[in-house]
Chain A
């Protein structure tokens, strides 16, 4: 992810431990850190969530706005995902326009939500070709302690499941928005992401900050409720074998079942 320079001796100890089937924080190789998820934490946002995986913390807000659809997709609503790696989240994060890590995080999260069909975008159309709901999903990363991808996908899903939009009716050629009557946005699917890091030839789930810094390769897998794959992203400059990729999917299918338990019932 956002790798910072790690002393060789720390790298060696992390790798040695993992090759023995252990981790520095005492977890099993496929074990997640503690996860906490709250929704509706920001009243000013129509949907929101605060997610923590270990000490990694993201505040996600969803804000709907009425706008015009993209010309090539006139009959679907718009979803825009944006992330800010705040300089408060880590000493090596800097203020300024989104860097490549931030853009990658936003795009992979977007892919998981879009291809995982979280929102039924066709139901966000108000007047076909003219007026649609645009959902702005903003990821505010306030504390970085490894594995942003899984936290981002989990927080985004929870925030969207928590999002309400005002109901609209069309009278003549006017759109009437009723803020008194808020309705949940149409949720179709609940995909989640599971990230595995390849360290010392082994695959470990939910990489910690230290592991994120020393990993050889990383694979993030987006999975729908039925275990089918909806998004993937490989990171890191070391290659993965065919067998490793297939094994990663198997592990992810098990792990997303666990992650799913932290989602509040809609």
Chain B
């Protein structure tokens, strides 16, 4: 469904990768591997359309993503290094707004139950500036629970998370794959999903 062919990307004068081709089909998960600075984040940002590739095409359901534009973005969930969380808003408000931006209107009950499953019971209405780094990451990750996006693009989803939260993310990824979703992610920590073959993509 996601087909990348002959992709090349550079930052400044430095060529990060070129001639990169792969395809991702429903129910598949792929880990992008490589040393720091090898272009993992750049690849994920290129897939999201934030960066223009130097060469190559990214096709979604057989069509160029640049032509699909919003139709493609509606099916993508991107979670980057930045949490996209406002300090002034509560966890509840943050989740409802970020879900709203991705086109899903959540009522309060749905948002609360998502936050509670992320282990934020009792902290739903606190301003996020009083939460710890890991808790703020959990607020951002709660989007995974309410999203209906087909393709998840996760950039280091496990940073600042404790063991319990990592297990929860593995569970969510497994559920998403079982729904015929697709995941492409980077991580430096082990992420195991039971019963699914983990594909690897090495950038060097």
* Chains A and B come from one and the same complex: no
- Please give the residue numbers on chain A whose beta carbons come within 8 Å of chain B beta carbons, in ascending order: none
The interface of chain B, by Cβ under 8 A from chain A, is none
